[in-house]
Amino acid sequence: MMSFYYSYQPLIDFFLIAVGLGYSQQLALRAGVFSIATAGFSALGAYATAILVTRYGAPVPLAILVSAVVGMAVSYVLSVPLARLRGAFQAIATLAFVQVVIALLLYFEGFTGGAIGISGIPRVMNTGWLLLAVLVTIYVIWSINRTSVGRVFNALRQDDSVAASLGVPIKSYYALAFVLSGLIGAVFGALRSLYVFNIEPVDFGFHAMVASLTVVVLGGRNTLLGPIAGALIMAILPELARPLAENRGILNGVILILVITFLPNGVGDELVYWLRRRLRRTPKTMSKREEGTDVVAAD
């Protein structure tokens, strides 16, 4: 077991980071914001922490705190114009945001290291800390789901005009969901930079955007299990197909198509729905906790 852990430790750690970024992505989608800005938030968080720690010798907790504040501030500012847009237009606006962030990181070379990026970042993260960060994130989202805020998010996703007619201040809730997404994205970006020794702009490009989105769509957009399941599949896939060497792209592709075709709500969500259906049949076992995490049974 220990030997397994040592051999796969980086895989486990990257899995945890992917789960964190997945939650950032999921929060936005859950509230009906088709955002792919998570890569941009994680870039800002990663660079803020990396620059503070390597250039100014800032203590790590302070650097992470600054990253969190930067993530929240930027996502708040971004949420204002995004509330005016819909669906695909939100996706493209956030795509533009990420592209601008990357272009600026490349341009302000003196400050960001340009294409070469920033290296010599101390590795202070390990499996324990990352696990703690993921657990805290899950707890926070779980708590939100139990309050009325969680239900409003679900209402916004399903039909925001109904929500508006019921007197819900849509814009504030959009902003709240987006700021949370920015916060989590930036913090996990910061944690990642404290794990990988060096960062460069391409780490946060189109591939990073697509990766977070894939984790959530594959795992599920509504339940807490979603990003965990999605990140797990994305972590295991490359290792599973390794014997195929240069042909493993084909197997990865086939598996992605098959999984989502047969489980279109995402593996995690489908699993939760299935469990819930089983539990419903025997109402006695339905605890208060499932009530709390209950999300859109009608979906």
The answer to whether the CB of 30 falls within 8 A of the CB of 177 is yes
Residue number with CB closer to other proteins (172 or 247): 247
CB 11 within 8 A of CB 18: no
Residue number with CB closer to other proteins (135 or 210): 210
Q: Should residue 162 be labelled a site residue for other proteins when binding is judged by CB under 8 A?
A: no
Phi, psi of 83 (to 5 degrees): -65, -20
Using CB under 8 A as the binding rule, whether residue 292 contacts other proteins is answered as: no
Is 11 among the residues that bind other proteins (CB under 8 A)?
yes
Per CB under 8 A, the list member of 23, 34, 41, 188 interacting with other proteins is 34
CA distance 163 to 165: 5
Least separation in angstroms between residue 169's CB and other proteins is 19
Per CB under 8 A, contacts with other proteins among 65-94 are 81, 84-93
- Please tell me whether residue 104 binds other proteins under the rule CB under 8 A: yes
Using the rule CB under 8 A, is 1 a contact of other proteins?
A: no
Shortest Cβ 289–other proteins spacing (Å): 25
Look at the alpha carbons of 112, 114, 120, 123 in this order and tell me if their dihedral is positive or negative: positive
Q: State which of positions 122-151 bind other proteins (CB under 8 A).
A: 123
Inter-residue contact 197 to 121 (CB < 8 Å) = yes
Contacts of residue 40, defined as CB under 8 A and 6 or more positions apart, other chains included, come to 74, 94, 97, 98, 101, 102, 185, 204
Distance CA 20, CA 237 (A): 19
* Least distance between other proteins and beta carbon 287 (Å): 28
Which x/- pattern, by CB under 8 A, does the window 171-210 give for other proteins?
-------------------------xxxxxxxx--x---x
